[in-house]
Amino acid sequence: MPLDPTTLRRRATGLIAADPARSAGGYTLFAPQTAGGNVYLIDLAGETVHRWTLPHRPGRDAVLLGNGNLGYNGNHPGSPELFPGWSVWHGGAFAEVTPDGEIVWQHTDLAHHHDAQWLANGNLLYTVVEPLPAALARRVVGGIPGSEAPGGVIYADVVKEVDRAGRTVWEWRCWEHLRPEDYPLHPTFERSHWPMTNAVTPGRDGKLLLSLRSVSAVIAVARHGGQVLWRLGHDLVAQQHCPSELEDGRILVFDNGISRPGVSMPHSRVIEVDPLAGRIVWQYADAPGYAFFTPFMGGAQRLHNGNTLVTEANFGRLFEITRAGDVVWEYVCPYFAAYPDAPSRAYLPGETNALFRAHRYQAREIPWLG
């Protein structure tokens, strides 16, 4: 009998382990990147308790909104292929969907990529790209020589907020506040996209947290004025994702760790940082370090009991850890498929069970599940 050719699928999938007494409990929501637009809500036993099926595969993420509906970031098939890799991480097809699958609101932005946040006031906060002005593009330092987008273009990031009518109500252009020389691209990243904002998260006191992957920085930006309030640099973070501000002002970050200064072994970790002191106050890493690693995507969510839900994205692995680093729940996404479009398959060939990140909810947050 021939073996399954997909290495990851030959390993265990579904529920791996659960310690209900030590887990924060609740339900976990995830949207596999290649599962045809299916979004799954599972219980602590790994059983699917609800599923949505959307017209497009996820651009990255899905969340539950305060009104009980699903906020979905879909991969719009009409988005142009701006540069290699764009087809994998762009979104652009936003939808709010009831538990019964009815789409009650939609928004399209073909320049959108990576993260999106559904705000409490009903607005949508997300990142798009625009061509960097040529004079500024010439000042972008680092990256792979000759890897600009067609025509020598370097795309740069804009954070925008739109209301329910799709009107832009706020924008922040990175090049108006960041000097290219101060945020050099890593030598192994393409010059087609600077600085690659893969997450935008509202913080307290009107600030936004931005994760700048290709330059290994997390910054806090003031909504009023747009200035950078503080920066976590490459001495702390490495090609990171998913920063969030905790109640005490510390910042939780999924730190991918493709390359770290002075460290030869790639490994991922989850870190909690005091941003004003610029120091790590807590971290989780596996032993040996390479046992926990995802080169891109990934997430960390602090739960109500102090545990942390971690998304080891490229391998579809979700696990919950205690403050002491004990794993108390683990699940591996069992849904494998190749990317449906040719540009994505060329960039990331083979079948995958990858996720951008997962989210944990308590029963009280899902009253319709009853």
Q: What's the rounded Cα separation, in Å, for the pair 114 and 86?
A: 10
pLDDT of 89 above 80 = yes
pLDDT per position as a tens digit, 102-122: 999 999 999 999 999 999 999
pLDDT of 167 above 90 = yes
What is the residue type of 206?
G
Beta-bridge partners for 200: 210
Is residue 312 within 8 Å of 302, Cβ to Cβ?
Answer: no
175-183 long-range CB contacts below 8 Å, 24 or more apart? 175/132, 175/133, 175/136, 176/226, 177/221, 177/226, 177/227, 177/228, 178/228, 179/139, 180/136, 180/139, 180/140, 180/141, 181/139, 181/141, 183/212, 183/215, 183/217
pLDDT per position as a tens digit, 201-210: 999 999 999 9
pLDDT of 1 above 80 = no
Give alpha helix (H) positions in 264-333: none
* β pairing state of 193-194 and 168-173: unpaired
pLDDT reported for residue 369: 95
Tokens 């252009």 -> residue:
173
Name which of 2-6, 244-248, 294-298, 350-354 the model is least confident about. Answer: 2-6
- Of residues 370 and 88, which shows the higher confidence score? 88
pLDDT reported for residue 11: 84
Is residue 244 within 8 Å of 251, Cβ to Cβ?
Answer: yes
Confidence grade of residue 47 (pLDDT, cut at 50, 70, 90): very high
Domains of the chain in start order, with CATH, are: 7-369 (2.120.10.30)
pLDDT per position as a tens digit, 236-287: 999 999 999 999 999 999 999 999 999 999 999 999 999 999 999 999 999 9
Mean pLDDT of 74-100: 95
Answer whether the bond into residue 288 is a cis peptide, omega within 30°: yes
Q: What's the rounded Cα separation, in Å, for the pair 118 and 65?
A: 7
Of the chain, the percentage scoring pLDDT greater than 90 comes to 96
pLDDT reported for residue 210: 98
- Of residues 4 and 212, which shows the higher confidence score? 212
Q: What's the rounded Cα separation, in Å, for the pair 297 and 31?
A: 13
Q: What's the rounded Cα separation, in Å, for the pair 109 and 98?
A: 22
Mean pLDDT of 338-366: 95
How many other C-beta atoms lie within 10 A of the C-beta of residue 144? 14
pLDDT reported for residue 9: 83
Rounded to two decimals, the pTM is 0.96
pLDDT reported for residue 6: 79
User: CA nearest 302: which of 201, 219, 223, 176?
Assistant: 201
Q: For residue 82, how far is the Cα from the chain centroid?
A: 20
Give alpha helix (H) positions in the chain: 7-10, 86-89, 134-137, 342-347
